[in-house]
Amino acid sequence: MASFKEINIPQKPPMVMVDRIVRVEDKTTVTSFRIRDDNVFIEDGLFREPGIIENMAQTAAAGSSAKTGEAGSAPKLGFIGAIRDLEIKKLPESGDEIFTTVTVTHEIFNATVVTASITLNDELIAQCELRIFLES
């Protein structure tokens, strides 16, 4: 198990939305994140939609960094180019720990397409497809 602190991503506090990498295998990355009261995406005790999407994107970035072994170099900036079929069934609360699974489905040049899902207590609460573009 790799610790998130060992992974090189461009996000810095207060925008870090992943605590640790649970697993990296082939094209799939799983991370965990405990939502805290002081999170910038907490509103009325709920982790709002932008935080959910950012968590998915950061899981993709952490997995990419872990797989390519870029720990010693500057992380590449990534930008969400498109979000498809976003479904959010439930917003997690402050104090909840979510698990995010991202699987790369296509990689072409500087574009990556991933499917992403978030579970809370083994219940699927969000899913979508992200198209992410990396700065060259």
- The answer to whether 51 and 41 have CB atoms below 8 angstroms apart is yes
Cα first-last separation, the chain: 29
The model's pLDDT over 68-102, given as tens digits with 9 standing for 90+, comes to 665 456 667 889 999 999 999 999 999 999 999 99
How many whole angstroms separate alpha carbon 5 and alpha carbon 7?
5
User: 10 Å Cβ neighbour count for 56?
Assistant: 30
Q: Domains in the chain, ordered, with CATH?
A: 4-134 (3.10.129.10)
pLDDT of residue 14: 86
Please state the rounded mean pLDDT for residues 103-108: 95
Give pLDDT, residue 65.
Answer: 75
Give me the pLDDT at residue 9, please.
67
Higher pLDDT: 44 or 136? It is 44
